[in-house]
Amino acid sequence: MRISTAGTRRWMLATALCGVLITGCSNGSGGGGGDAKPQAKPAAEPKPLAEGALRPLLLSQADLGTGYVQVQEKSDSGKFDDVSVQGCSALEKLGQSGDETMFAAKAETSFTYDDTDATLGEELHSDRPSVLSSKLRGLFGAYTSCPTYTMTAGTTPIEVKVAKSATPELGDEQFAYTSTMELPSGAQVLKTMAVRKGNVAVMLVGAPALVDRHMKTAVGKLPAGS
């Protein structure tokens, strides 16, 4: 199937938007140690899964059905160096700590759909449940703290509007918001949704209909004990 130049450009911007979200994170405590009693050993949390264990849990073309084409993965190195955010202090602080590794392990994939500009990206993250919970709350809290902000990709300023979204009753915790990017070619609406199940978090970003359609399948691929 043909992937248009415009579609590729929009996917790059969508990836940049998601990438800023994923790779930048404040130093939130996230460890849950404050709840431990001085004379009692805290209950052991499940350990993070390794990247090799996460990769088979990613969505595949067989999971998604006909019309999906997997996008060839590229190295993250330098991918978001020219992306910055202005007009939202919480996101600006998030970006300042972008060199930090957010979670212990990560695996990702992405797809285009039906010879259109529609895209769907997935990231799996693993860490101790308390770390995933704390950092996801901080992350989505930052992104929904400002109804509007400006994202600059290279020299191109892009106005972004953000609104919280409803979430399905899946996993242990759910987070979602919808962002509208005002591009020169027209507005593009993206939905970002994350579901934590134990020590693994599934994050989907892309066309809202595709995110809503496939999140249950993505969560269903996680092992029962995660």
The pLDDT confidence band at residue 206, using thresholds 50, 70 and 90, is very high
CA distances from 58 to 85, 124, 138, 156 (A): 29, 7, 24, 32
Tell me the pLDDT band of 64, cut-offs 50, 70 and 90: very high
Q: Looking at residues 164-183, what average pLDDT do you find? A: 94
The bridge status of strand 148-153 relative to strand 68-70 is unpaired
More confident residue, 97 or 65: 65
Q: Which of 93-97, 126-130, 177-181 has the lowest mean pLDDT?
A: 93-97
Write the DSSP string, 10-65. Answer: HHHHHHHHHHHHHH-------S-GGGS-TTSPPPPPPPPPPHHHHGGGS--HHHH-
Pick the more confident residue, 9 or 137: 137
**Alpha-carbon distance 194 to 189, whole Å?**
17
Q: Where are the domains of the chain?
A: 5-25+48-220
Mean of pLDDT values over 172-188: 91
CATH architecture of 5-25+48-220: 3-Layer(aba) Sandwich (3.40)
pTM of the predicted model, to two decimals? 0.80
Neighbouring CB atoms inside 10 A of 155's CB total 6
CA distance 195 to 14: 19
